[in-house]
Structure formats: C-alpha cells, structure tokens
C-alpha cells in the first residue's frame, strides 16, 4: 500500500504495533531511545527521589569525583549529581513544552494555508517569513529584555522563534498532499476545510512532522542553554544545564566535573534525540530506495 493514502488508509498502513516498529531500531536507535527515556524520567521523578543532603551547599568547593559526590561539587559545595538531575526538569521540560507549542502551531497554520487557498497561504507565509529574518538568539534576547526572564517567557520566546520553521516544513508537505485525488474527492462531496485539514492532510504528514519535532526539540534545547549561559535563561535558585555551566565556569581551568557534567548532559540529550530520529521506522527503506 502506498505511504500516502486517505486518512483511514494511513492508519491501516500504520497499524503495525509500536513493538514491531521499535524492532526496526538499530543499536544506535536503542541507545538513543534509552538516553532520552532516562532524561525524561529524571526530569519527572529525579528531584523527588534524590536525597537533599548537600543541596544547600557547605561542602568542599569544586570537589573532584568521589564515592560521596559522583559528579563532584559546584562553586557552593553542592552535589553536582543532584544539580544536574534538578536541571533536567527545566532543560527537558521547558524545551519539550516550547517544542510542542512551536510544532503544533506551525503545523496547524500550515494546514490552514494549504487547505484554505491562495490569499490565506500568502498572508501566513509572508507574515512568518518576517520572523525568520531575525536571528533566533537576537530575537530571544529582545523578548527577554522586554518582558523579563521567567519560565513562561522562555517557553513563549522559543515557541515563537521556531514556529516559522515548523510552518515551512509542514506547508511543503501539506501542499503536496492537498493536490492529491482523494482530497479533491473530499472537497467534491462537500467536506469542510476543517475536515480536510484534520482528516485528509494531517494524518499523511504526521510521520515527517514527528521527525521534525525531534529536530526542533534539539534546537530549542540549544537555544535555552545558550540563553542560560548568558545569564538570561532560568534564574537562581533554579537552574538548567546551561546555567550550571555558567555558574561553575571558574572550575574549567582545573578540569572540574562541575562544568563537564552539565555539558555532557546537553550533548547526550541532543545526540540521543538525533539517533532516535535517524532510526525512525521507514527511514532506512526510504534511504535504500533513494540509492537505487
């Protein structure tokens, strides 16, 4: 069956259990998925499970890795393992919410543009193109400078910045699907625009948009980490991984684990998400077909 069918056909062609789909993952995909699940669980449950011993500081400053402190201590003598786990709540949580908002908004606007007609399409496309003309970090700095630095502002800033990218990807897919025969048939039998958007077009672009959501999550993580490193992200006493690097940057010359640990956490999350995307079901088949 073709990978592009009617909405019900899509779900029939995608009716394989997720267990069968995960079986198509290679070793790198499983490794990436394990790391992503680990950080997701750490963000959800880690802070409540960790001991609060040493969280208030008072220990040896920039202590090396030891049995007592698996990742050393920070500039106030706090356990870096606890700090990294607590930071996951903000890095993973804020980035995930912002990514859902960006991808969801961009996809819905793209569906509206593809299904509604030329004028709405042109207005939305030209309006969102104006946002892409502003560098993402500069735009984020302007929003934070104007409205202050808080978690809701960071989520809103990251979402607004990445809506145009999600819109462009979704629109390119939706326009192609909108031109297919079964969409024309749906319009001919009198289906409304909302039905065409959600039942005929959306199911057939869902797979590529999920892959794009993963990539956009990586972009958001790096953007938020950059803002926090500049002191404009999550504010003390809370901290994400970017602010942990900034707080302990003085230990870099000593090779302190307090700088290396949050940096490795950022790298492990972004790389693992990319590994999962590279092993999504069907990607290997598409690549083999492209080489033939």
For 149-181, write each residue's pLDDT tens digit: 889 999 999 999 999 999 999 999 998 988 888
Distance CA 19, CA 30 (A): 13
What six digits make up the tokens of 49? 């499970």
113, 270 contact by CB (below 8 A) = no
Quick one: DSSP state of residue 251?
A: G
What six digits make up the tokens of 8? 């019900």
Distance CA 288, CA 203 (A): 24
Q: Which DSSP helix (H) or strand (E) runs through 268? A: helix 257-278
Dihedral sign, CA of 234, 235, 241, 243?
Answer: positive
Q: Could you read off the pLDDT of 91-128 as tens digits, one per residue?
A: 999 999 999 999 999 999 999 988 887 888 888 888 88
Q: pLDDT tier at 291 (50, 70, 90 boundaries)? A: very low
Q: Could you read off the pLDDT of 259-283 as tens digits, one per residue?
A: 889 999 999 999 999 999 888 765 5
3-class secondary-structure state, position 238: coil
Query: Where do runs of H (alpha helix) occur along 135-237?
Result: 136-147, 151-178, 181-188, 193-195, 202-229
pLDDT of residue 288: 40
pLDDT of residue 185: 86
For the chain, the domains span 25-291
263, 229 contact by CB (below 8 A) = no
Distance CA 106, CA 187 (A): 23
99, 214 contact by CB (below 8 A) = no
Name which of 157, 135, 146, 148 is nearest 231 in CA terms. 148
Sort residue 77 into left (φ over 0), alpha (ψ -120 to 50) or beta: left
Distance CA 60, CA 74 (A): 9
* Mean pLDDT score across all residues of the chain: 82
3-class secondary-structure state, position 126: helix
Which numeric CATH code is attached to 25-291?
A: 1.10.3720.10
247, 84 contact by CB (below 8 A) = no
Name, of 26-35, 117-126, 217-226, the range with top average pLDDT: 217-226
């Amino acid at each position: 069956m073709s990978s592009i069918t009617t909405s019900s056909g899509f779900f029939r062609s995608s009716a394989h259990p997720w267990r069968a789909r995960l079986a198509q993952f290679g070793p790198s995909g499983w490794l990436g998925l394990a790391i992503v699940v680990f950080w997701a669980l750490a963000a959800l449950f880690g802070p409540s499970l960790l001991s609060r011993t040493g969280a208030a500081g008072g220990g040896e400053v920039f202590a090396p890795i030891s049995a007592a402190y698996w990742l050393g201590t920070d500039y106030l003598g706090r356990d870096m393992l606890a700090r990294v786990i607590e930071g996951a709540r903000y890095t993973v949580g804020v980035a995930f919410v912002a990514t859902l908002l960006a991808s969801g908004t961009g996809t819905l606007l793209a569906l509206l543009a593809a299904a509604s007609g030329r004028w709405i399409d042109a207005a939305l496309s030209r309006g969102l193109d104006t946002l892409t003309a502003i560098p993402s970090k500069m735009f984020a700095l302007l929003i934070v400078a104007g409205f202050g630095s808080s978690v809701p502002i960071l989520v809103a800033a990251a979402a607004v910045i990445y809506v145009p990218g999600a819109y462009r990807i979704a629109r390119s897919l939706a326009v192609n699907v909108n031109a297919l025969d079964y969409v024309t048939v749906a319009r001919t039998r009198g289906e409304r625009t909302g039905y065409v958007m959600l039942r005929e077009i959306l199911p057939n672009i869902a797979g590529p948009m999920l892959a794009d959501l993963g990539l956009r999550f990586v972009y958001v993580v790096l953007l938020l980490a950059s803002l926090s490193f500049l002191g404009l992200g999550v504010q003390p006493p809370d901290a994400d991984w970017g602010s942990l690097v900034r707080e302990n940057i003085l230990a870099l010359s000593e090779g302190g684990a307090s700088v290396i640990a949050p940096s490795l956490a950022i790298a492990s999350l972004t790389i693992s998400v990319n590994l999962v995307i590279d092993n999504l079901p069907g990607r290997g088949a598409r690549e083999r077909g492209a080489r033939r």
